[in-house]
Structure 1
Amino acid sequence: MPGIHIRTVALTTAAVLAAFALPAATATASPTAAYDDTYYQDAEGKTGTELKSALHTIISDQTKLSYDAVWDALKATDQDPANSSNVILLYSGTSRAKSANGGDSGDWNREHVWAKSHGDFGTATGPGTDLHHLRPEDVTVNSVRGNKDFDAGGSAVANGGGSLTDSDSFEPRDAVKGDVARMILYMAVRYEGDDSFADLEPNDSVDNGSAPNIGKLSVLKKWSDEDPPDAFEQHRNEVIYDTYQHNRNPFIDHPEWVGSIW
């Protein structure tokens, strides 16, 4: 597909999402009022390791999906608010037909934001199927990201919506930098090594290979601050909670908890 067409679609999608966003006064407000006294009550007043432990217990109570079921779930969680027949691709930012899911060029597939090899969980039910870090992405762009850590810098990714990459890292487009950070940090709290899977932890490296670590923590924290949760991300959290896993990403509801734990 010619580059100019991709750019046009990306810009159109950006305009649509801007229209979808909440009013300026509430665009970054979290829906905590409905959950602080119920869902998050055991985390109230805690900080640091105590907060992380409390959140781990809370969000570990979830319904788990099969890897096949993820296809249909993503068609709901990442639905284009302007076109119910399409999904929004994470890194590219483009809108693509839900029916174009698969493994061929031009298709979208299931991107593991916490790369599968960074924990050796593959597509196993649990971390390999957790919707809080699985997103639709163009097959080719997904391949470019591979299992690279996240960091700033690099060269432009073809049809990547402004994403950059180099030999050992990937930088997503500006509009989802915070989304990526909060997905990574959710995984670090949810999977602590007590359920037969590895203890997933972020670090400040970009050479983690197949270790159960992913980076770069300092950059992820910066991205979370600079790109707070928007309406699309908040809506996605609600759909996962209400319809599929029945657990939440606490860093979408409380972005300030990122700095409290890390």
Structure 2
Amino acid sequence: MSRSRRSAAGGIALAAAALLAVAVPTSVSAAPAPVPSAALPASTASTYYASAEGRTGTALKAALNDIISEQNRLSYSQVWDALGDTDEDPYDPDNVILLYSGRSQSKSEHGGNLGDWNREHVWAKSHGDFGTRTGPGTDLHHLRPTDVRVNSIRGNKDFDNGGSAVSGAPGNYTDGDSFEPRDAVKGDVARMILYMAVRYEGEDGFADLEPNDRVGNGSAPYHGRISVLKQWHREDPPDSFERNRNEVIYNEYQRNRNPFIDRPEWVEAIW
């Protein structure tokens, strides 16, 4: 075959392949892609965290408090709809992912009945007695959708390793004064607790929230155990779901961020 005839045949084959690629649809049974990572762009990070760069210890904590205290605030009733966005199931936009159980559940099935999901305060609202008031009581950075029954079992317990298995929430454990979440969200829990400790420093009429290395803190404005939380933070670094959640809160609701999702190294720099 001459070179010209080979070229013509090749052109026809390429055209047929292109036509076939257009004509054959993508399989409808294909699984949707995971939520993309929503890490803070370097250009934004350099601006948002500029005053904190190069600091450590109490100076870093104070600088971050100044940065993240600039935020919009929600009412407690607004939290229902907001959680539908922040914790949306990436494979089913009608559902949310429940924090402790990991179950995907309809956004509309929320309330106080058995089987519903409700608004879990990861920093227990009795630890500092802020309740559901606008401020720490409505801060999306530590509010998560949780099965009503599991929320009740967790109650206001501090976080620690060990205990008996929680029925209906595989991988979670509890005893009389502590709660251990499933491995996939251990780091999430740690970063939410440490965010609260930086954001609420006794300003705005609320208690100064601080982590400590105890359990059974009751109504005191402390949450433990810091040594375990730091371990969880190291072992379960931020994933795409958590980073996307941080982005949604920043862009669509509060206009502030959890710095320990963006800059995990700052946990050790402060504590």
Q: TM-score, normalized by length of structure 2?
A: 0.86
Determine whether 1:104 maps to 2:113. yes
Deviation at 1:30, TM superposition (A): 4.2
User: Aligned residues: percent identity?
Assistant: 71
Q: What's the counterpart of residue 67 of structure 1?
A: 76
Determine whether 1:53 maps to 2:62. yes
Consecutive unaligned residues in structure 1, runs of 5 or more: 1-15
SS at match of 1:135: strand
Q: What's the counterpart of residue 210 of structure 2?
A: 201
Determine whether 1:79 maps to 2:88. yes
SS at match of 1:86: strand
User: Match for 1:131: what amino acid?
Assistant: L
Bigger CA radius of gyration: 2
How many residues were matched structurally? 241
Q: Summarize deviations over 1:58-82 as a string: whole Å, max 9, x none.
A: 0000000000000000000000000
Deviation at 1:159, TM superposition (A): 1.1
Whether the 8 Å contact between 1:32 and 1:253 is mirrored in structure 2 is no
Whether the 8 Å contact between 1:56 and 1:190 is mirrored in structure 2 is yes
Change (3 A) 1:122 1:217: same
CA distance in 2: counterparts of 1:162 and 1:176, whole angstroms: 10
User: Match for 1:213: what amino acid?
Assistant: Y
User: Match for 2:34: what amino acid?
Assistant: F
User: Match for 1:128: what amino acid?
Assistant: G
Q: What's the counterpart of residue 93 of structure 1?
A: 102
Q: What's the counterpart of residue 34 of structure 2?
A: 20
Q: Summarize deviations over 1:210-233 as a string: whole Å, max 9, x none.
A: 100010000000000000000000
Determine whether 1:35 maps to 2:49. no
Q: Summarize deviations over 1:136-160 as a string: whole Å, max 9, x none.
A: 0000000000000000001110111
Deviation at 1:167, TM superposition (A): 0.6
Runs of at least 4 residues off by over 4 Å = none
TM-align CA RMSD? 1.4
Whether the 8 Å contact between 1:240 and 1:248 is mirrored in structure 2 is yes
1:169 aligned to 170, 173, 178, which one? 178
User: Match for 1:183: what amino acid?
Assistant: M
Q: TM-score, normalized by length of structure 1?
A: 0.89
Deviation at 1:21, TM superposition (A): 5.6
CA distance in 1: counterparts of 2:202 and 2:151, whole angstroms: 27
- Matched ranges for 1:175-190 at <5 A: 175-190=184-199
Q: What's the counterpart of residue 3 of structure 1?
A: none
Consecutive unaligned residues in structure 2, runs of 5 or more: 1-30
Determine whether 1:231 maps to 2:240. yes
User: Match for 1:57: what amino acid?
Assistant: D
CA distance in 2: counterparts of 1:151 and 1:140, whole angstroms: 20
Determine whether 1:243 maps to 2:257. no
Change (3 A) 1:21 1:81: closer
Determine whether 1:116 maps to 2:125. yes
SS at match of 1:111: strand
Q: What's the counterpart of residue 142 of structure 1?
A: 151
CA distance in 1: counterparts of 2:134 and 2:256, whole angstroms: 15
Deviation at 1:162, TM superposition (A): 1.1
Q: Summarize deviations over 1:13-68 as a string: whole Å, max 9, x none.
A: xxx89x6265xxxx7x9435143211001101111110000000000000000000
CA distance in 2: counterparts of 1:155 and 1:34, whole angstroms: 46
Whether the 8 Å contact between 2:125 and 2:156 is mirrored in structure 1 is yes
Whether the 8 Å contact between 2:73 and 2:134 is mirrored in structure 1 is yes
SS at match of 2:113: coil
User: Match for 2:216: what amino acid?
Assistant: D
Q: What's the counterpart of residue 151 of structure 1?
A: 160
CA distance in 2: counterparts of 1:129 and 1:148, whole angstroms: 19
